Amino acid sequence: MSETPAAKPPEEPKGPGLCGQFLKDHGIATTRLPDSCGVETIEIDGAHLEAAMKLLRGSSEIKLDYLVAVSGVDSADTFDSVYQLWSYSNNNELIIKVRVKKTDVVEGQLPLVPSLARFWSAANWHERETYDLVGIRYYGHPYLRRILNVWDWDGHPLRRDYKQLVDALNDKAPGSFR
């Protein structure tokens, strides 16, 4: 259960893709990750996320104006915040990842990623959900509260080290069903 994704076969580092080049032109550094199933995937530093998103959304040629989803992933040594970007008007696609190293996270605190909810309403509930389930704190979010679980829930269920609450309502151990 706690296996990490198998290491990818090392790919040749390609040059920046369409969106990576566009961001580079506007002075935002990105790292190109291996394409996920043919979709350009870039890693970006949290500090530049908001600026990059504004650029990508506003530009007329890229026009990635459709934020499909924000996901949180508890990877082997990082917490990833993954943004799927599409466009309403053309066929561009982009996946942006913001990675926070687990070693950088202060003990007892949550990893921090800037929030997009202030200027992109679609991000609002997705970020709340990711905060709820994976435990990534989106700073600058107007209303960052748990959305699916009750408000004073302990822990973040989709973390690999989550210990399930056992009580009168739910006392069978996970996996006992199978």
Member of 111, 133, 136, 138 binding another protein (CB under 8 A) = 133
With contact defined as beta carbons under 8 Å apart, do 20 and 30 qualify? yes
With contact defined as beta carbons under 8 Å apart, do 22 and 85 qualify? no
Site for another protein in 43-82 (CB under 8 A): 65-69, 71, 73-74, 82
Kindly indicate which of the ranges 11-19, 46-54, 87-95, 101-109 contains the residues binding another protein, using the contact rule CB under 8 A: 87-95
Member of 6, 27, 77, 106 binding another protein (CB under 8 A) = 6
Cα distance between residue 22 and residue 101, in whole Å: 26
Choose between 21 and 90: whose C-beta lies nearer to another protein: 90
Cα distance between residue 115 and residue 49, in whole Å: 9
Cα distance between residue 39 and residue 60, in whole Å: 20
Q: If binding is defined by CB under 8 A, does position 150 make contact with another protein?
A: yes
With contact defined as beta carbons under 8 Å apart, do 161 and 167 qualify? no
Helix (H, G, I), strand (E, B) or coil at 94: strand
Give the residues lining the site for another protein (CB under 8 A).
1, 3-6, 8, 36-37, 39, 65-69, 71, 73-74, 82, 84, 88, 91, 95, 120-122, 124-126, 129, 133, 145-153, 157-158, 162, 164-165, 167-178
